[in-house]
């Protein structure tokens, strides 16, 4: 565990990873069951939940992904600063 990061960092990161895992699994399911309205509703709920978590995490701890998927920051490029989520 990186001593420079607080408990909130790890809690948020774990919640983001869990929500994104659900999204991956629902994506695979919906690829084969595209008319399942309950699964689509769950996908949309987890998509919004993941976005909400990331909107809390990224301003405080930095971007989670590159290639335009994360906000670049107000006054500086933050992607090059670590630790990156997969390094903790």
Q: Does a structural domain hold residue 82?
A: no
Residue 87 lies in a domain: no
Specify the higher pLDDT residue, 74 or 38: 38
**Burial of 87 (C-beta count, 10 Å sphere; 0-12/13-18/19+):** exposed
**Which whole number is the average pLDDT over 16-34?**
94
**Region class of 68: left (phi > 0), else alpha (psi between -120 and 50), else beta:** left
- The pLDDT score that the predictor gives to residue 67 is 58
Kindly give the residue spans of alpha helices, DSSP state H, lying in 1-88.
Answer: 7-32, 37-61
Q: How many domains does the chain have?
A: 1
- Name the residue with higher pLDDT: 70 or 50: 50
Domain that holds residue 46: 1-31+39-56
Is residue 78 assigned to a domain?
no
Q: Does the residue 67 lie in any domain?
A: no
Distance, CA of 19 to chain centre: 7
């Amino acid at each position: 565990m990186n001593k420079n990061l607080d408990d909130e960092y790890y809690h948020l990161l774990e919640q983001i990873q869990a929500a994104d895992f659900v999204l991956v699994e629902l994506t695979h399911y919906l690829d084969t069951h595209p008319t399942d309205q309950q699964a689509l509703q769950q996908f949309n709920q987890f998509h919004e939940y993941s976005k909400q978590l990331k909107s809390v995490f990224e301003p405080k701890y930095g971007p989670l992904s590159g290639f335009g998927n994360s906000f670049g920051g107000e006054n500086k490029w933050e992607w090059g600063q670590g630790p990156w989520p997969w390094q903790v």
